[in-house]
Structure 1
Amino acid sequence: MTEKATFGGGCFWCIEAAYKELEGVTSVTSGYAGGDKPDPSYREVCRGSTGHTEVVQVEYHPETVTYPDLLELFFTIHDPTQLNRQGPDVGSQYRSIVLYHDEEQRQYTEEYVEQLEAEQAFNNSVVTDIEPIKEFYEAGEKHQDYYEKNPADGYCRTYVEPKVQKVRENFETESSVAR
């Protein structure tokens, strides 16, 4: 049985590619959540007029990879201290957000952030929003598996590839299991 987790930390292409590397993750879907407009388009979300954030919905086997593992990866691959931006992507649609699916995820997330703050893991305070998932809207097909389909793209080489490399170096991945 799989479970779901939803994260936003900048462009969904970056987050999607990173989670796809992790052993126990069965699927990662790019989409939008956290806003008010039903079924928003990519252009509407990019304009920042819907309240939605670019997110990924991760399906995973909890006996192989735990929710705390997913949180650790999330806080490793993006800067949770940047308000409404990640790298070149600016606006609330790129904010750092964890959208929890149940009370256990909420509690783990809040405790994890408290731990990061107590350890002063970052130079600045964590600004990650923690909210319940209400609705998830899948992005169009051209946004799914973007890194896999476009590895030579300038954005992918500059912003996605370093996140993928970080996961490969710091986490048990499908490729590390095969070795």
Structure 2
Amino acid sequence: MPHETAIFAGGCFWCTEAVFQSLGGVEKVESGYIGGTVENPTYKQVCGGDTGHAEAIRISFDPAVITYDDLLDVFFATHDPTQLNRQGNDVGTQYRSAIFPLDDVQEAAARAGIARAQPDWSQPIVTSVEPAAAWYPAEDYHQAYWDGEGQRNPYCMAVIPPKLAKLRKGFSEKLRGQES
């Protein structure tokens, strides 16, 4: 079965990348920018909040090992989809919670995933389902950030380990090395 692609925005891409690269069946996670109006935006431009882009991740995965629905469930469990245009102290549309489906099947699954996740949250989920748009990979130093610089970055050390703990607690059977 060919690999598939999913694109999610759940706040800081360093934080979402660290979660998804831990999953079995995920072949690659790339940090980047999507949903804005500027071609080839830079990190500085996106952080300024004026380009309309979201910090996002593009996931290449093997659907025979992990499904799009599984990825959606992890997405909703490891960030706060009830915060509009922010995640914690990261504030701005670039940190919005969004799903960028690549076809009608993914769009239907995204909407069903929101409905499936809503009972787990006391506030309404505000995750947007946005049309897929041009994808711009983030600069090289953002890729696999947690595996390198991120573990020396105080922000990442405060935010990422709790996300990874939620992942281990709720999805231990989906972690890399646990595939059947």
Structure 2, unmatched stretches of 5+, are none
Determine the structure 1 residue equivalent to 2:10. 9
Task: Return the TM-score normalized by structure 1.
Answer: 0.94
Structure 1 residues 108-166: Cα deviation after superposition (integer angstroms, max 9, x where no partner): 1111212333xx32111010010121111000011001100021321121001211222
Determine the structure 2 residue equivalent to 1:152. 152
Determine the structure 2 residue equivalent to 1:33. 34
Determine the structure 1 residue equivalent to 2:166. 166
SS at match of 2:55: strand
1:17 partner amino acid: A
Structure 1 residues 21-69: Cα deviation after superposition (integer angstroms, max 9, x where no partner): 0000000000000111111000000000100000000000001000000
Structure 1, unmatched stretches of 5+, are none
- Return the alpha-carbon distance in structure 2 between the equivalents of residues 140 and 169 of structure 1: 32
Determine the structure 1 residue equivalent to 2:48. 47
- Return the alpha-carbon distance in structure 1 between the equivalents of residues 28 and 123 of structure 2: 32
- Return the alpha-carbon distance in structure 2 between the equivalents of residues 134 and 58 of structure 1: 15
Alignment identity in percent? 41
1:51 partner amino acid: G
Determine the structure 1 residue equivalent to 2:120. 121
Runs of 4+ in 1 over 6 A off after TM superposition: none
Task: Return the TM-score normalized by structure 2.
Answer: 0.94
Q: Is the 8 A contact 2:65 2:179 kept in 1?
A: no
Q: CA RMSD in A?
A: 1.3
Q: Is the 8 A contact 2:25 2:179 kept in 1?
A: no
Determine the structure 2 residue equivalent to 1:136. 135
